[in-house]
Chains A and B, each alone.
Chain A
Amino acid sequence: MSINTISSRVKSNYKKKLTHTTLRRLVQISFATFILIIAVIHFAGGESSTNLTASAEAFCPFGGLETLYKYLTSAGAYVPHTHLSNLVIAAAVLITALLLRSAFCGWICPLGFIQDLLRGLTRRLEKRYVPIRRFFRTLNQRGQPAWNFLDKYLRYAKYVVLVWAVTGAAIYGVMVFKDYDPWSALINITEWTFTPGIVVLAVTLVASLFIERPWCRYFCPLGAASGLLGKFSPVQIQRNADACTNCKICTKACPMGLDVHTATKITSPDCNSCLVCVDDCPREGALSVQIGFPVK
């Protein structure tokens, strides 16, 4: 084998591994690490510390949506546990959604990343161990019809959570959703306080082993707001029917459970723009990211 052949094979393998999914993972790891460092520093410093140690809560974009009404109506006051940084990050998430769809959810959100990791773990176990593979196959065969029915309606729950959390904070001046929020439960885990959010977090993590991104699909209020604004974005994934072989690999790969193989344009507010479908598509040019007219 000539050196040129080896070199081209190495290049080809290198190119295959360095997909945009690698970039996405690096971005997700960076943001999750940042939040972890912030949480550890804040825990180590404590509330009574003379040094300023921001809590991880100060970096939660949904806190910005919850405090927005109070900020606008009470001369710049905030609901407890929120700061100006929450409003700024919420603005960043929503403007990003307007320009580039719900990319925050697919590329940045640490809770989404944790759910990705857990489902990835069971996928690996499925490939490696036959009994686990059989278990998941049986579960899919028996539970699929009922689950498809539930899935259709559960997807609306996140809009109910969004309305409840935002109007609740506006009416009562406190974050009514905080005690049920799995992200809040996770970043405040060192406080050792039992809240319903701990249960929601545990259920989310266990469900992530079986379903991809269960919290994002059904209950995340930030994803709901971001997805709705993303409908106005000029960026969308498009399927070229001429190049598509209807192999359904894209639909099977979609972490949000969308029917990519039947759509011409992916305009669902549930799409988190992770581009896993584009990455997994075996046909060059069948799926691509395009800039087009929004709301079409």
Chain B
Amino acid sequence: MKINPFVYGTLVVVVFLGIILGFQGAGIWSTSGKVDVSGKAIEPSKTDVNTIKGWMTLEQVSTTFDIPVAEILAGFNLPADTPGTTALKDLESDTFDITALRTWLQGKQQP
């Protein structure tokens, strides 16, 4: 069966956006690590290193895990004068990323 190219183009947009809107309508949508699917603010938790997100600051991590900012900086060879208010994602480099920090924090928590 032949399809008109205009109809095909319209179908592409309708199907693509329809799927996304369908998920959104079912509550399966989140574009930020600051809130969860239900819209509740995500807070760092000492019991779950996966709650550490890139938008969080060094100070938030330091307070939650009771580790001085200086120790975190030294642990990843980051400049000692880095302000505690710096977002983690702004520090990403070859020696530092969120996954590495999570693993490091997990290692610190183990007895």
- Report A's interface with B, CB cutoff 8 A: 19-20, 23-24, 27, 47-48, 52-55, 58-59, 74, 77-81, 83-85, 88-89, 91-93, 95-96, 99-100, 103-104, 107-108, 172-174, 235, 273, 275, 278-279, 288-291
Contact = CB atoms under 8 A, between A and B. Distances in A.
B8 A100 contact: yes
B99 A108 contact: no
B50 A96 contact: no
A275 B8 contact: yes
B97 interface: yes
Interface stretch (B33-41, B64-72, B73-81): B33-41
B107 interface: no
B104 interface: no
Given A100-B15, A174-B97, A279-B5, A83 B90 contact: no
B32 A54 contact: yes
A66 B63 CA distance: 31
Contact of B2 (A24, A58, A85, A289): A289
Given A88-B20, A88-B23, A174-B97, A20 B6 contact: yes
Contact of B16 (A108, A235, A273): A108
Contact of A289 (B5, B19, B35, B55): B5
Nearest 4 A/B pairs, CB to CB: A54-B31, A20-B5, A58-B31, A92-B19
Which of the four size classes fits the interface of chain B? 35 or more
Interface string B1-34: 1111110111111011101100110001111111
Interface of B: 1-6, 8-13, 15-17, 19-20, 23-24, 28-35, 37, 50, 54-55, 85, 87, 89-90, 97-99
Given A27-B13, A92-B19, 12 more contacts: A20-B5, A48-B87, A55-B31, A80-B89, A83-B32, A84-B31, A88-B19, A103-B12, A108-B12, A174-B99, A235-B3, A289-B2
B49 to A, nearest CB: 10
Nearest to A174: B99
B30 A290 contact: no
B12 A96 contact: yes
Contact of A290 (B1, B15, B98): B1
A95 B22 CA distance: 13
Contact of B54 (A80, A273, A288): A80
Contacts of A59: 31
Contacts of A77: 50
Contact of A92 (B2, B16, B34): B16
Nearest to B55: A47
B43 to A, nearest CB: 15
Contacts of A85: 29-31
Contacts of B87: 47-48
B5 A80 contact: no
A145 to B, nearest CB: 34
Nearest to B35: A52
5 contacts: A52-B32, A89-B20, A104-B16, A174-B97, A235-B3
A54 B54 CA distance: 13
A83 B24 CA distance: 13
B42 to A, nearest CB: 11
Q: Identify the interface centre among A19, A84, A95: most chain B CB within 10 Å of its CB.
A: A84
A186 B110 CA distance: 40
A81 B46 CA distance: 21
Contact of A83 (B9, B10, B20, B31): B31
Contacts of B8: 20, 100, 103, 235, 273, 275, 289
